[in-house]
Chain A
Amino acid sequence: DQQVKQNSPSLSVQEGRISILNCDYTNSMFDYFLWYKKYPAEGPTFLISISSIKDKNEDGRFTVFLNKSAKHLSLHIVPSQPGDSAVYFCAARGYGAGSYQLTFGKGTKLSVIP
């Protein structure tokens, strides 16, 4: 059973417009959420995170929104740039078996069209 879901495998956005990537989760015990960006044949790089006690975190062009009641978070990129084209993974942190672990979604491939 997938605990972290990214239901859109891909998204295309015009350069300069807003990109919105969505993520849903089922485990109410997740307490921290992260977004990673990944280029082909490279490791993911951390983008932005949010604690479950907050509903918004902003870092430059990137903003993450968390709606705990809906178990939903979203990543907004504005304005979108061609260099933002990558796969974006949503991850959620949970505690189990004596340690914290991250559970990843399947990713959304963002294409920013010049």
Chain B
Amino acid sequence: DGGITQSPKYLFRKEGQNVTLSCEQNLNHDAMYWYRQDPGQGLRLIYYSQIVNDFQKGDIAEGYSVSREKKESFPLTVTSAQKNPTAFYLCASSIRDSTDEQFFGPGTRLTVL
């Protein structure tokens, strides 16, 4: 079955710790994205990558970092510099430059205590 997996579904961390969220896809998509969703808010773009070893900042990249060493994987690190890290994080992928939709993973709920 093709799709996007994110793990874990729920994650708890102490304030001041970095944490890395996993995102893997087997859809052979070139482009991958990370979004953040807060209550009552739409999805806001954190980072995106159109191709391996390349990525760009989205609208709210401060306090986050990413890597794209493999086509299938696009991990997101939430650093201690992110002021309000508690949120629901969504990873997505799409065929590069496609008119079609982005496919989303199930999301990771991060809670920083």
Contact = CB atoms under 8 A, between A and B. Distances in A.
Contacts of B90: 43-44
Contacts, number: 58
B85 interface: no
A99 B99 contact: no
Interface residues of A, number: 26
B56 A89 contact: no
B42 A43 contact: no
Give the size category of B's interface with A.
Answer: 20 to 34
A29 interface: no
Contacts of A100: 97
Contact of A43 (B56, B97, B100, B105): B105
Interface of B: 4, 6, 9, 31, 35, 40-45, 48, 50, 56, 58, 88, 90, 92, 97, 99-107, 109
A102 interface: yes
B48 A99 contact: yes
A106 B41 contact: yes
